[in-house]
Copies of this chain bind each other. A is one copy, B any other.
């Protein structure tokens, strides 16, 4: 269902004034120019826009917002356009403007004493990571779209990724925030304070609000010291229960060392092994499931290798781990990570697949994987569940690949059956239907059932209080009101 925006008041006049404000490099109105900004990268949504605005700074953005509000024109913020859920794509009314943050792309400073970085919204995550590294520190957030995804979107969607287990999601990394509110006013919250109890946690609210409460324009990011020792191991386990037991063993000894803890199914690993050039399993024989664990510490001489060897030896003695290999070089580390990172690509090559970005309490991951695997197999014989992901956060990408001998179309026609099957089990385990990817325009229909009652009602009240005319990214997060 696509929300249809109301007809704006005098759009020609608005465009004229926006053009004066933003100049020729700040506004696109030709359909061909706007197309790339009106389609999401997954190719799920094809919208249209009245214009694509590219403000150069917070002041321009603020004034552009005021103009749009005065004309009743809805605004869709867009960063790197890498949303998994159509969160940055306009509807097909042609009445909305897309506002791209890409020109606000300066790193305003890195402070080695505070270990902070001030970024503008349009800085790609990868650029920010590299800048931190060059300054001898680390920006501890990594996702597969980091080359394109921009910091504003990273924060607006509270991005997660492989390192959440250690450093938290984007929310946990933000000390301060500047934002343009739905009425064009500027929220000046660019503070660098680790403790500040002076009223409501507005920046916590803006982070993860998916552009429905305004535009994040700048942020202060907490950096970390760069790791001095890194160790990566690939472990064979009997099942997800074994993977959880291994996680618990590491966590009990030192949670601060666990940089990533990734689960992979035997099915998914076999696909990578078979379909990805240069990827090969460095173990004697295939296993029912695998764990990739990365430990890291900024402390030189911490004997991380000895520590990891000790934990793995103990786990093998207890039968938790059946085989394991530790990387001996940076090249080997990259090869082990390749086995994990190529899961999505291998699944794509294996045919059609259905993705579920779900989370459950960590201790329930084994039950999730066992039950959802069985339920999917019962639903469609020959289906290939290939769950993988961030076991340390309870966040599993429960992807299922089509049966070998089934036409892709026939399989995809069952998408909603599959998603519902997985979702029912996730709900039963008190989980979330969207661990990392957000709600966007793909999943608002799930909100009423999963987050309904007082919770959704409270979200609606906040939305209405800050954006009374529903002009900020309408149709995202919230299902149509049913009153």
Contact = CB atoms under 8 A, between A and B. Distances in A.
Interface of A: 111, 113-116, 157-158, 160, 164-165, 168-169, 171-172, 181, 185-189, 191-202, 204-205, 207-209, 213, 224-225, 244, 248, 251-257, 297-300, 302, 307, 359-363, 390, 393-395, 430-439, 446-447, 450-451, 453-459, 461-466, 477
Given A194-B362, A195-B164, A299-B253, A188 B453 contact: yes
Contacts of A189: 455
A73 to B, nearest CB: 21
- Most chain B CB neighbours (cut-off 10 Å) among A201, A224, A431: A201
A111 B363 contact: yes
Nearest to A113: B363
B447 A192 contact: no
B254 A297 contact: yes
A297 B432 CA distance: 32
Given A188-B455, A225-B255, A194 B164 contact: yes
Contacts of A165: 194
A224 B255 CA distance: 8
A454 to B, nearest CB: 4
A203 to B, nearest CB: 9
B197 A208 contact: yes
A252 B298 contact: yes
Given A202-B458, A307-B299, A465-B461, A197 B430 contact: no
Given A207-B201, A251-B115, A363-B111, A195 B458 contact: no
Contacts of A209: 200
Contacts of A393: 194-195
Which one of A363, A433, A450 has the highest number of Cβ atoms from chain B below 10 Å of its Cβ? A363
A329 B361 CA distance: 39
A111 B430 CA distance: 15
A253 B457 CA distance: 47
Contacts of A466: 458, 461-462
Contacts of A463: 200
Given A256-B256, A363-B114, A459-B202, A194 B395 contact: yes
Contacts of A168: 172
Nearest to A431: B193
Contacts of A451: 198-199
